Amino acid sequence: MNPIGTSKRDHPVKPQGWRQNPAVKWLLMVMFVLLFYFSLAPHLIPETYDIAEGSISENDIKAPFQIRDENATRLAEEEAAKRIDPKYSIVALHDEMLVEQILYRIEQLNQDDQVTTENKIDIYKSEIPGKYGEYIDAFVKSNKRDGTYSDSLLEEMATEAKDQQYTIPEETFYKMPQLTSEQLSEMRDVAKGIVRKLTSEQLREAETARTQVAELVNSSSLSSRTEREIVQELARFVIMPNKFLDQEATDEAKAEAKQNTPPVIIKEGDVFVKRGETITAETYKLLSDANLLQDKKDYWPQLGLFFMSVMFAIVMYVYLHQSGGINGVKPRYSNAQLLMLWLIFLINIIIIQIIALTQTDSAPYAGYLAPAALGAMLITLLMDMHLAIIASFIFTVMGSIILNTSQNQIFDFKYGFFIMVISLAAVFSIYRASQRSTILKAGIMVSLFGSVSVISMLMLSEDLNRMPFIYSVAFAFGGGLLTAVLVIGLMPFFEITFGILSALKLVELSNPNHPLLRKLLTETPGTYHHSVMVGNLSEAAAEAIGANGLLCRVGSFYHDIGKTKRPNYFIENQSNIENPHDTIDPKLSKSIIVAHARDGVEMLKGYNIPKPIRDIAEQHHGTTSLKFFYYKALKQAEEEGKEAAFTEDDYRYPGPKAQSKEAAVVGISDCVEAAVRSLRNPTVEQVEAMIAKIIKSRLDDNQYNECDLTLKELDKIAQSLKESVIGIFHSRIEYPEDVKAKERAE
């Protein structure tokens, strides 16, 4: 609480010791980054080797991930290409058109009487052999324009056809001038028919068809020997091959074969360099391409992982900062709690890593056994639900990397989704837990939600093979139960080591069968009743300002435990006996009264009661003054005619002042309960005025300077106490209407 007219920033609370040291906080954040980095490094960064080409490998080198063997893949592709047979294509040259052209030229020239026979023979000798090449060239030119055949195929056809050109015997040309139009017409039909028949089949070699020409001509309708001889030679001349090597199609087939050749893969974990093996150029290149050589190490993965780790830490930093846990005036989390958070992360990650070691290619579903919700459940119980939700998403990402069994991706969505579901189920199941049995119930909820998430993923992937399905669901269910067992086992360790007062521990301490509470009840029943009443008042007041109501209730139960050492010196325990303070020196009375706070702390330490409760017992009176004994001492000194050798400060509690909202609330509630109990027939106005007076008195006495209560919160506390007191002492409190009626009656 700050003086009126000042703000909390004007009076920052100085860090005390390592628990609030800012440097230690930043060191812990660095430790979080290192934890994230080194936890994920084995799964994301491959190991490198100091090895040279031509050297001997000192160890077996296993593939850290799936590696494509480029050299072996290239050899496999070449072998596949070699197995491809050459591709041939049919080119329809229509050889009968060439024989048509030749016979037409003979007929045209034979009808020209101006040309002598000798000249005709010379023309035939020069023109007819050249028509073969001219016909092929014209065919190539025509088909290049319309694109029926590829250029390479046309070139192959022209070359091959010209190489197989038939040479007409010279004596045949001497017989051509003798042919009449009628003979040429008859020869034309026969020749075209023979050529068409022989070229209807695939011809790689023209000579194969040419050998059949004589037989077909002799069986034709031609009767003249001359006609048969000329038709036979012309048919042989015009027959060309029609099946040619298609290099382009062959290359495409080989390329397709290479493309369809599966790559040679070195699986993760396979030994691809054995111990004692010489590192060849191919092996060295393979190691280099896989970034497994130290001198050619790729640092991008390390940098990427570092950025990822920093991002995780930043997410936590932002939450802790906004909740007052890093640089807040009154940090919500001490360095001890941040260290505990780091240990929770460490334990959760180690357990996930251990489960990951049990995964195999045949049994990847073993990852579902991982109790990944352990961290989220512990953080919820020991710290804060919202922090647990943030941690759950970090565990989700890390678990999907650590449990990933796929070689083609960084994260495995199946395990990420599974961990997210069970972590959130754990957080919402364990939130506000009040009994240890709640942990087991939360574990069962984790099992159920985990099993359902696994079933849904298996259904979506249609992977419903009986045994893997059963194992996956069984592991998921068992993981939830394992989580509950581990949480139950680890909770006492964290509670004792870090002095954490969880809700479960508070509920255990509130049990009336606790030895100290039984002692309080049996030896000081008045104080016990007072403590219970203070617990009711303080819990409601604390919850009104967002403080820990359960801590206030349990702290109230123990705040006056020190009174059990001298119970008769406290008025609530003085039934049917004289007040011993009436006969002793006020200074001695003061010593006895103020000692109950110190005695209570010693007793609580003896029973290992957590520090937050000890602090309430020690701080609930702060440094307030025992005015009754102070004024009594003044009166005695006046009666004796002596000057007072003491001041009011000598009659104060030793403190310290309240360091937390909870200690301040318990202190106010303690004073209010005692004051109201002293009233004979309190009215609402009296209760309200008394509560305001008590709070103002402590405020003026600077009792709230060391805790972060605000004036607005004090108003809420006053209103809550008023409502609680009226509810508890309802039958004794007179309302204004009752008072007026009573006055009229009198």
Question: Do 55 and 132 lie in a common domain?
Answer: no
Q: State the pLDDT at residue 56.
A: 83
At 711, the amino acid letter reads L
* Rounded distance between C-alpha atoms, residue 396 and residue 35, angstroms: 16
All residue ranges of the chain with pLDDT < 50 are 1-15, 328-329, 735, 739-746
Record the tokens describing residue 414, joined without a space.
């199946």
Q: Is the peptide bond before 656 cis (omega within 30 degrees of 0)?
A: yes
CA distance 165 to 68: 52
Q: How confident is the model at residue 634, as a pLDDT? A: 87
My answer on whether 427 and 342 are in the same domain is yes
Question: Is residue 227 domain-resident?
Answer: yes
Question: Which range of residues forms the domain containing residue 614?
Answer: 513-745
Beta carbons within 10 angstroms of residue 712's beta carbon: 9
**Are 99 and 154 spatial neighbours (Cβ–Cβ below 8 Å)?**
no
pLDDT in tens, 105-154: 888 888 888 889 899 889 988 889 998 889 988 888 888 877 778 888 88
Query: In this structure, are 518 and 541 located in the same domain?
Result: yes
- Of 443, 467, 500, which residue sits at a domain end? 500
Residue 207 belongs to a domain: yes
- Based on the domain organization, do 65 and 211 belong to the same domain? no
Same domain, 33 and 64: no
Q: Does pTM surpass 0.85?
A: no
- On whether residue 92 sits in a domain, the answer given is yes
Q: How would you write 451-471 as a 3-class SS string?
A: HHHHHHHHHHHCCCCHHHHHH
Are 26 and 61 in a shared domain?
no
Residue 655 φ/ψ region, left for φ over 0, alpha for ψ in the -120 to 50 degree band, beta for the rest: left
Q: What is the CATH number of the domain that holds 483?
A: 1.10.1760.20
**Is 679 within a domain?**
yes
- How many domains does the chain contain in total? 4
Shared domain check, 339 and 369: yes
- Same domain? For 145 and 224 the reply is yes
Are 33 and 59 members of one domain? no
Same domain, 487 and 571: no
State the CATH number of the domain containing residue 530: 1.10.3210
The answer to the question of residue 454 being in a domain is yes
Residue 268, domain member (yes or no): yes
Q: Is the domain of 453 the same as that of 531?
A: no
Last residue in a domain, options 445, 473, 500? 500
Looking at the structure, tell me whether residues 559 and 618 fall in a common domain: yes
Q: Say if 556 falls within a structural domain.
A: yes
Within a domain: 506: no
List 335's β-bridge partners, or say none. none
Residue whose C-alpha is closest to residue 683's, from 741, 729, 743, 733: 733
Task: Look up residue 699 and give its two tokens.
Answer: 């405020």
